[in-house]
Structure 1
Amino acid sequence: MDEHEAAQLHHKLQLLETEHRDLDDIINRLAEDPTMDQLQLRRMKQRKLLLKDLITRLRSRLIPDLKA
């Protein structure tokens, strides 16, 4: 992986982490509202899990391979 590709991955990682953090804040606030649509809340939680998986995959791609 060259420096340009690594920089792009870092940038995408930052965007995903920001979206994940924002979604977490929204979910926490909405979960306190008893009138909140539970289906919509569940979809937000699923999106948050998807983001977490994407973040994990990107982080692993940024770890250099060790040559044995």
Structure 2
Amino acid sequence: MTEEDEQEIRFELARLKQEHADLDAAIAVMSETGRVDPLRIQRLKKKKLALKDRIVVLEDQLLPDIIA
């Protein structure tokens, strides 16, 4: 992996982590008010989970498992 590839992955990783944190905060606020459609909250949680899966894939690309 080139240094440029690694930098692109790190940039994408930072963006996804920020989006994940934003969704987490939005879900928390919506849950506290209790006036939001439960289906909408469920969809946001599903999107948050998909982001987490993508984050894990990118992190694995940066730090692959090395069997010693």
TM-score, normalization: structure 2?
0.91
Map of 1:18 onto structure 2: 18
For residue 45 of structure 1, what is the aligned residue in structure 2? 45
Moved over 2 A (4+): 64-68
> Which residues of structure 1 form unaligned runs of 5+?
none
Rounded to whole Å, the distance in 1 between the matches of 2:40 and 2:52 is: 18
Structure 2: gaps (5+ residues): none
Deviation at 1:67, TM superposition (A): 7.8
Q: Deviations over 1:19-50 (max 9, x none)?
A: 00011001001011222111110000000000
Change (3 A) 1:7 1:37: same
Q: What percentage of residue pairs aligned between the two structures are identical?
A: 38
Cα deviation for residue 66 of structure 1 reads: 4.0
TM-score by length of 1: 0.91
